[in-house]
Structure 1
Amino acid sequence: MSTEPVAVMPPTANDAEKAQFASNGADHVHRHHHHDYSQMTSGFAQADAGTLNPGVWKPYEHRKLANPAPLGLCAFALTTFVLSAINMHARGVSAPNVVVPLAFGYGGFVQLLAGMWEMACGNTFGATALSSYGGFWISYAILLTPNWGITAPTGPYSGNTGSPIGFFLTGWFIFTTMLLLCTLRSTVAFFLLFLTLDLAFLFLATEQYALDMGNKTAALGLQKTGGFFGFLAAFLAWYNALAGIQDSSNSFFQVPVFHFPWSDKGRERRGIKTDREQA
């Protein structure tokens, strides 16, 4: 082997430019990272609506994954928007058939994938919420698919599907209430998303019971009210998704999510030690 000394050349302007580009690239990747790992060193992540994180889960390890929450929230938002417009009888449209492909493909399959990716990121709340609502849309699409015959006059309920579908929606109301309780220490935007969704399920469930009792006037009013709250939930889901997508590399501003005063982030901003810091 040669023993001649290796000549060390001073850095050129081109080398400096490459180094700066590499540094910017690293910063860009870090800004797009799923979670703030400086917060992870304390064992718990801060509440963040953009990552569908209420601030109560404990992360596991560093993973180079993008934030899947905005994808799941957008899938949920678009499908909910279309169904809610139909429930409100916008422009005289009342048949929900157009929701079926959306519910299978975007609101169902894509949202379910986002939930599985949240599980890989260690976010239990996000995985539970997105996977479950993905399952909701798939099951709802099956209900509306004529070939399954579930709601058909010749089906198992002979067309009297008011109470069965009411039970279906009541179960989702209970589940959403459970998730709503987990957002009380997060952000206002996050809390309002689940509150409006919870009310949408409640009114749509009672609409089905009203239909079963033959009160079509009350059922129509309940359906439109449920559609209104679903409409709000859709826009709040998009809002929270935007909060998760925006950063300094793609936006000149960040939409506010408004942390509750009693949340860890709210107390931190007021200079009050959090419960974990006091412990």
Structure 2
Amino acid sequence: MKEEREVILRDSYANPAPLGLFAFGMTTVLLNIHNAGFFELNSMILAMGIFYGGIAQVIAGIVEAKKNNTFGFTAFTSYGFFWLTFVGLLVLPKLGWAEPVSVTGLVAYLVMWGLFTFLLFLATLKQSVALQLVFGSLTLLFILLAVGDYTESAGIKMFAGYEGILCGGIAIYTAIAQVLNEVSGRVVLPLGPVKK
């Protein structure tokens, strides 16, 4: 007769959310400092978009999948590939591999990402206030960027830049709050209550 044993699997993965939130937040702040008119679109933003906003978020998403977190997997992997596609929109025409995106095409791109973000925002209503603020402000950012490009309004684009700096800043806050709270074993920076 075979002896039955209970096997307990332990989650040995670190929390990938701070990595994903830092990667998203820092890249978003830097791009939107450009959108607000402080400096030109340059290699620093493109490199951040590929390596930190892009690849680091995809890695965070894959680890979220290992932790059985569907929301984290979907969000981080998707926004990681958002940054990679965004850089592709800028770089592929420069390499002669594709035609530049039209204004209509760019507006459609931003609207789809805004819709996607709004749908994820709905999922944050059962999560922390900090995450609700990240996804709510990101939804607004995509709307502002789409309207700014559609109307070709420099004022709306500049306002979107400032709103994007705020959005990225909230993501950075959420990331460091998770790190400090975990390291300290207590709430150092509040994330807001999680709704049941």
Counterpart pick for 2:13 among 48, 56, 65: 65
C-alpha RMSD of the superposition: 1.9
Counterpart pick for 2:134 among 172, 193, 203: 193
Aligned length, in residue pairs = 186
Q: In 1, are the aligned partners of 2:89 and 2:100 still within 8 Å (CA)?
A: no
Deviations 1:79-127 (A, max 9, x none): 101001000002xx24354311111111001111110110010000000
Letter in 2 for 1:226: A
Q: Which has the higher contact order (CA 8 A, sep 6+)?
A: 2
Choose 225-234 or 168-177, whichever is displaced more.
Answer: 225-234
Letter in 2 for 1:233: C
Letter in 1 for 2:172: W
Counterpart-to-counterpart distance in 2, 1:129 and 1:87: 23
Instruction: Tell me: CA distance 1:247–1:259, structure 2 relative to 1, closer, same or farther (3 Å).
Output: closer
Counterpart-to-counterpart distance in 2, 1:248 and 1:65: 14
Q: Give the structure 2 partner of residue 89 of structure 1.
A: 37
Counterpart pick for 2:24 among 57, 76, 86: 76
Unaligned runs of 5+ in 1: 1-60, 212-218, 265-279
1:152-163 paired onto structure 2 within 5 Å: 155=99, 161-163=102-104
1:95-114 paired onto structure 2 within 5 Å: 95-114=41-60
Counterpart pick for 1:174 among 115, 128, 141: 115
Q: In 1, are the aligned partners of 2:181 and 2:189 still within 8 Å (CA)?
A: no
Unaligned runs of 5+ in 2: 1-8
Match of 1:182, SS? helix
Residue 171 (structure 2) pairs with residue 237 (structure 1): yes
Residue 64 (structure 2) pairs with residue 130 (structure 1): no
Instruction: Tell me: CA distance 1:99–1:249, structure 2 relative to 1, closer, same or farther (3 Å).
Output: closer
Counterpart-to-counterpart distance in 2, 1:123 and 1:138: 22
Instruction: Tell me: CA distance 1:253–1:121, structure 2 relative to 1, closer, same or farther (3 Å).
Output: closer
Counterpart-to-counterpart distance in 2, 1:78 and 1:250: 24
Q: In 2, are the aligned partners of 1:200 and 1:225 still within 8 Å (CA)?
A: no
Counterpart-to-counterpart distance in 1, 2:64 and 2:100: 37
Determine which structure has more spread, i.e. the larger CA radius of gyration. 1
Instruction: Tell me: CA distance 1:240–1:156, structure 2 relative to 1, closer, same or farther (3 Å).
Output: closer
1:214-253 paired onto structure 2 within 5 Å: 219-247=153-181, 249-250=183-184
Taking structure 1 as the reference length, the TM-score comes to: 0.63
